[in-house]
Amino acid sequence: MEYQAKKKPILITWDFTEKSEFALQHGVNLCKELQTKMVMLHIAKTDKEARAAKKKMDILAAATQNKNGVVTSAIAPVGNIFTTIADIAEEIHAEMVIMGTHGMKGMQKLMGSWALKVITGSKVPFIVVQAPPVSHGFKKIVFPLDFRSENKEKIQWIYYIGRLYNSMFYIIKERVTDRKFKKGIHSNLLYTEKFLRSNNIVYEIHSSLGKKDFTTETLEFADQIEADLLLVMTTRNIGIADYVLGANEQRIIANRSGIPVMCITPRPVKMSGGFSASGG
């Protein structure tokens, strides 16, 4: 059966690589759960390249739709990945973008920085993948929680993903000594727990050991529990040095275990307390 296309579509970035194929597979699974359509996007450098890419993608989109029953279309505009993906996502009112990326091995480190730059330029959440789906859905989700107030913006996506897959959330909170940071973490944890309990979402709370940096311990914890997804918030106003040297988010995106990562970019203005997460 074919699914209704009334809901917001899922946008899949496509560059004719194996990583794009992985993104497409994740997209099919998610579209089936959401009962929505999928749009494949290739960014071309020239009109000639765009026409050739569109022909190939139309064939693949038709085959994907016939095989999976998910309405699938393809677009191949001329542009650049740093602005066009975000522009298209907003134009088609995409629910989210799924993008395949390489890890941080050797010269591929640059790919991690490219992915981060693309993500932070978008208002739409990204799911970044390095491997094909190992299971249907995201059952075990790791939610790193630190002192930043932006953490609260992830809450609506806990509800969104949790209701789709009946997920278990593993909150790992950062161990800090600074009193101000402790207060921020405590406030974020209270806020998160209240929301989870009120929406009957199952969760566990864990603390990092504080022996290594928080990103490393988050990734080690995700490996330990065999997580299906990492849910992170990108840093507000991320600088060029972060792209070159490797922000924490970049390390998570390119994690060696290939765990999918859902990245949410903070709103441009700081939130005034108590926003209501509708999950819609």
- Percent of the chain exceeding pLDDT 70 equals 84
* CA dist., res. 53 & res. 14, Å (int): 10
**Residues 144, 206: one domain?**
yes
3-state DSSP assignment of residue 204: strand
3-state DSSP assignment of residue 48: helix
Give yes or no for residue 108 having a pLDDT over 80.
no
User: What is the pLDDT at residue 275?
Assistant: 32
Q: Give the residue from 100, 128, 161 where a domain finishes.
A: 100
In order, the DSSP letters of 163-201 are HHHT-EEEEEEPP---HHHHHHHHHHHHHHHHHHHHTT-
* CA dist., res. 95 & res. 9, Å (int): 6
pTM as predicted: 0.85
**Residues 83, 144: one domain?**
no
Q: How far apart are the first and last CA of the chain?
A: 25
User: Looking at residues 239-252, what average pLDDT do you find?
Assistant: 58
Structure tokens at 63: 């085959």
Residue-range definition of the domain harbouring residue 86: 10-100
Here the CATH number for the domain that contains residue 20 is 3.40.50.620
The count of C-alpha atoms lying within 13 angstroms of the C-alpha of 41, restricted to the half-sphere facing its C-beta, is 29
276 within domain boundaries = no
